[in-house]
Amino acid sequence: ETPAVQLKNVEKYYGTFHALKSINLSVGKGEKIVVCGPSGSGKSTMIRTINQLEEHQSGEILINGAPISANDPTIDDLRQDVGMVFQHFNLFPHMTILENCTLAPTVVRKVSQKDAEKTAMAYLEKVQIANQAFKYPGQLSGGQQQRVAIARALCMKPEILLFDEPTSALDPEMIGEVLDVMETLAEEGMTMVCVTHEMGFARKVADRVIFMDAGEIIEEDTPDAFFTNP
Ligand code: ADP
Ligand code: ADP
């Protein structure tokens, strides 16, 4: 079966700084991968190349078998299959929760406002935030905003979801509610690549754990093997 995502010998430089060194990674459909490693090791850069928020200089990235590059005219179409949840939520502050969720489906996918709202309410229900749909992001807690960000990503019906330290900016008491939503998605078969320091989550949910250091993948294993290694 064609992997959901493949990175082949991906190299990334920021100026002269070598941020990704020959990264090879294959993510199967429905697979859950947790990426860990020290700060500055390239975790965020790696997952941002998958949707080309960061351009790589050489190597190949394939989504469902199709190679992508930032100057490809079809890049926006490919990027639509890849949802992303950020550390700092990145909701539009001047739009309601519902508007945040309907913007991309209506503008990019040309879904009717009515259908987009119906889908958005269903996903907001799923993350248990539908009762806040007409509020603005600033009126919600961090944990609630992050659940909205997940719902917003789901509204585009992505094939794969990328998470870049989704709980790192949250107060401790709100981490659980976001991890619970991620766990539910995992159980439902979503393909996920998660940069996170939440090792409990990794142990419970990940099919594979990838450890990065200085721009390289230095270890790759099942969570059980990973956490019992000396
Ligand atoms: P991690 O997610 O593991 O903390 P990052 O991918 O954010 O690591 O960063 C990897 C390295 O690349 C770090 O040394 C960081 O300072 C550097 N870096 C990240 N983004 C940029 C950028 N836009 N310009 C220059 N250097 C960057
Ligand atoms: P995060 O923890 O969310 O990955 P960072 O603090 O690592 O955020 O980076 C925030 C922004 O600054 C990112 O857009 C990243 O690309 C950029 N950045 C990180 N390190 C550097 C750097 N050394 N030089 C320039 N930009 C950087």
With a 6 Å cutoff on the Cβ, whether 44 touches ligand 2 is yes
Q: Is the pLDDT of residue 35 over 80?
A: yes
With a 6 Å cutoff on the Cβ, whether 51 touches ligand 1 is no
Contact 164, 113 (CB under 8 A): no
pTM of the model: 0.91
Residues 6+ apart with CB under 8 A from 180: none
CA–CA dist 130, 109 (Å, integer): 22
Q: Of 14, 46, 52, 162, which is best to mutate to test ligand 2, by the most ligand atoms within 8 angstroms of its C-beta?
A: 14
Residue 5 token pair: 């995502």
With a 6 Å cutoff on the Cβ, whether 197 touches ligand 2 is no
Residue 213 token pair: 């250091």
With a 6 Å cutoff on the Cβ, whether 119 touches ligand 1 is no
Q: Of 13, 16, 17, 50, which is best to mutate to test ligand 1, by the most ligand atoms within 8 angstroms of its C-beta?
A: 17
Q: pLDDT exceeding 90 applies to what percent of the chain?
A: 84
pLDDT tens-digit readout, 101-148:
999 999 988 999 999 999 999 999 999 999 999 999 999 999 999 999
**In the predicted model, what is the mean pLDDT of the chain?**
93
Q: Is the pLDDT of residue 95 over 80?
A: yes
CA–CA dist 136, 125 (Å, integer): 17
Tell me what pLDDT residue 228 has: 78
Tell me what pLDDT residue 52 has: 87
- C-alpha 40 – ligand 1 centre gap (Å): 5
Residues 6+ apart with CB under 8 A from 20: 10, 11, 12, 42, 45, 46, 49, 56, 215
Instruction: Tell the residue number behind the tokens 């078998």, with chain if given.
Output: 65
Tell me what pLDDT residue 70 has: 65
Q: Is the pLDDT of residue 217 over 90?
A: yes
Residue 162 three-state SS: strand
For residue 227, what is the DSSP state? H
The average pLDDT across 149-161 equals 95
Tell me what pLDDT residue 139 has: 98
